[in-house]
Structure 1
Amino acid sequence: MTDDDKPIKILIATPCYQGMCHADYTLSLVKTFAYFQNKKNIKIAHKFILYDSLVPRARNYFSAMALSDKTITHLLFIDADIGWLPEDIMRLISHNKPIIGAAIAKKKYIWDKLRNEHVKQILLDDSLPIEEYRNRIRACLVEYAVNFGASREIKDGVLEVEHIGTAFMLIQRQALEKLCQHYPELKIRQSNHELLSIEALNHFYCLFELRLQEGRYLSEDFSFCKRWNDLGGKIYADLSISLMHHGAEDYYGSILGLDKTNRK
Structure 2
Amino acid sequence: MPNARKIVNLGIATPAYNNTVLMSYANTLFGIQAAAMNAGIGCRLLWSSSSSVIAVARNLLVDEFLRDDRLSHLLFIDADMAFPPEDLMRMLAASESLEPHDVVAAICPRKRLNWERVMAAARMQPQLASEGLATLAGSFDGMFKPLSGRMEDVFEDRPVEVEAIGTGAMLISRSALEHLMAHGVQRVRMGSQQIELNVFFEETVVNGFHTSEDISFCHKVRRAGGRVWGVPWFRVTHGGNYDHIGDIGAISRAHMAL
Report SS of the residue matched to 1:51.
Answer: coil
For the 8 Å contact 1:60–1:206, the answer to whether it is kept is yes
Q: 1:213 aligns with which of 190, 200, 206?
A: 206
Following TM superposition, by how much is the alpha carbon of 1:7 offset from its aligned partner in structure 2, in angstroms?
Answer: 5.5
Specify the code of the residue in structure 1 equivalent to 2:183: H
Contact 1:107 1:251 in 2 (8 A): yes
Correspondence for 1:128: 128
Aligned CA distance change for structure 1 residues 57 and 135 (closer, same or farther; 3 Å):
same
Q: CA deviation at 1:112?
A: 4.5
Q: 1:38 to 1:142 in 2, by over 3 A?
A: closer
* Range that drifts further, 143-152 or 208-217: 143-152
**Equivalence for 2:162:** 161
Structure 1 distance, partners of 2:239, 2:142, is: 14
Task: Report the counterpart of residue 33 of structure 1 in structure 2.
Answer: 33
Q: Deviations over 1:192-216 (max 9, x none)?
A: x9798xxxx6xx3011011233332
> What letter matches 1:120 in structure 2?
A
CA contact (8 A) 2:84 2:235 kept: no
Distance in 2, matches of 1:111 and 1:189, equals 44
Contact 1:10 1:75 in 2 (8 A): yes
Asked if the contact 2:87–2:233 (Cα under 8 Å) also holds between the matched residues in 1, the reply is no
Report the AA paired with residue 167 of structure 2: T
Query: 1:151, 1:159 within 8 Å by CA — same for their partners in 2?
Result: no
Relative to structure 1, is the Cα distance of residues 64 and 189 closer, same or farther in structure 2, using a 3 angstrom cutoff?
same
CA–CA distance in 1 between the matches of 2:141 and 2:247?
10
Q: Larger Rg: 1 or 2?
A: 1
| Letter paired with 2:187 | K
User: Is the 1:78–1:169 contact (alpha carbons within 8 Å) kept by the matching residues of 2?
Assistant: yes
Find the aligned partners of 1:53 and 1:243 in 2 and give their Cα distance. Answer: 24
Alpha-carbon distance, 1:263 to partner: 6.3
Matched to 1:227, the amino acid is K
> Are the equivalent residues in 1 in contact too, given 2:136–2:251 (CA < 8 A)?
no
The offset of 1:38, in angstroms, is 1.6
C-alpha spacing 1:239/1:144, structure 2 compared with 1 (3 Å): farther
The alpha-carbon distance between structure 1 residues 209 and 144, as it changes in their structure 2 partners (threshold 3 A), is closer
May I ask how many residue pairs the two structures share in their alignment?
A: 244
Query: Structure 1: where are the runs of 5+ without partners?
Result: none
TM-score by length of 2: 0.84
Superposed CA RMSD in Å reads 2.7
- Look up the SS of the partner of 2:46 in the other structure: strand
Shift of the alpha carbon at 1:109?
2.2
Alignment map for 1:189-208 (pairs within 5 Å)? 204-208=197-201
Matched position secondary structure for 2:14: strand
**Match of 1:95?**
94
Runs of 4 or more off by more than 6 Å in structure 1?
Answer: 193-196
Distance 2:13 2:147 in 1: 27
**Aligned-pair distance for 1:258?**
2.0
C-alpha distance 142-166 of structure 1, shift in aligned 2 (>3 A): closer
* Whole-Å separation in 2 of the counterparts to 1:18 and 1:214: 34
Amino acid at match of 2:177: L
* Distance in 1 of aligned mates of 2:136 and 2:32: 29
The aligned residue for residue 58 of structure 1 is 57
Aligned mate of 1:143, from 141, 153, 157: 141
Residue 233 of structure 1 corresponds to which residue in structure 2? Answer: 226
State the AA in 1 paired with 2:246.
Answer: G
8 A Cα contact 1:122 1:137, kept in partner: no
